[in-house]
Structure 1
Amino acid sequence: MRELRCIIFENFEVIKAITGHRRRIGKPLPAGQIGKLKITTSPEIVVTLELLPDDGHSLFIPSSGAELAAALIAFCIEQRVPMPVSAKKALTVLEGNIAIKITKS
């Protein structure tokens, strides 16, 4: 028997997760406002943040794979959402939102 659990993130939570993770690893986002968040799924899940700096030229900052997963898992831990260490974790898109699918044997 296996257990399946999904944690679905709202866009503002994804933004907080990515900005927090980048700050922790020493690669903070440049100054400016975050405009849009775009999710693409082919060939892999990529979240792209549109950054609107003061100079008026948009920057597009992608996050995917292990980096995106690490950001979301760290966000869950900070929010005290249980995250079993031994469970298998995979990124997915549900209802147009990024989610972590957790499978535990």
Structure 2
Amino acid sequence: MREIRCIVFEDGELIKALLAHGRRTGKALPAGHISSFEIQRSKDVIARMTITSDEGGKTIVPTSGAELAAAMIAYCIDRKVPVPAQSAKSITVIDDHVALKITMSGD
């Protein structure tokens, strides 16, 4: 028997998770403000932030795969949401929001 739990992130929470992950890993975003945010569902789930500089230039910053999962897991841990270390984790989309899917074995 297995247990599956999904932690669904609102867009604002996912942006906060990505910004915190960038600070933690030293991957700073380009100067400017976040002008748009979208989720792309293809082979992988991709979170895309568009950063607009003060001069009006736009830079798209995509995050997917292990980096996206790491940002989401760290965000959960920072907020004391339990994420079992021995569980399988994956990223999925539920109701147009990105979710961290946690699968635990009942052994």
Could you say which residue in structure 2 is the equivalent of 1:69? 69
Instruction: Report the Cα offset of residue 92 of structure 1.
Output: 0.0
| Structure 1 segment 30-49 matched on structure 2, within 5 A | 30-49=30-49
Distance 1:74 1:26 in 2: 15
> RMSD between aligned alpha carbons?
0.8
1:37-79 CA-partner distances (Å, limit 9, x unpaired): 1111112111100111111011100000000000000000001
TM-score for the superposition, normalised by structure 2 = 0.95
Could you say which residue in structure 1 is the equivalent of 2:90? 90
Distance 2:60 2:46 in 1: 12
Distance 2:68 2:102 in 1: 15
Amino acid at match of 2:46: V
What 5-or-longer segments of structure 1 have no aligned partner? none
Distance 2:28 2:80 in 1: 23
Could you say which residue in structure 2 is the equivalent of 1:22? 22
Distance 1:43 1:104 in 2: 24
Instruction: Report the Cα offset of residue 31 of structure 1.
Output: 2.1
Q: Is residue 30–residue 59 contact of structure 2 (8 Å, CA) maintained in 1?
A: no
Instruction: Report the Cα offset of residue 30 of structure 1.
Output: 1.9
Residue identity over aligned pairs, in percent, reads 48
Q: Is residue 89–residue 101 contact of structure 2 (8 Å, CA) maintained in 1?
A: yes
1:11-41 CA-partner distances (Å, limit 9, x unpaired): 0111011111111111111221111111111
TM-score for the superposition, normalised by structure 1 = 0.96
| Aligned length in residues | 105
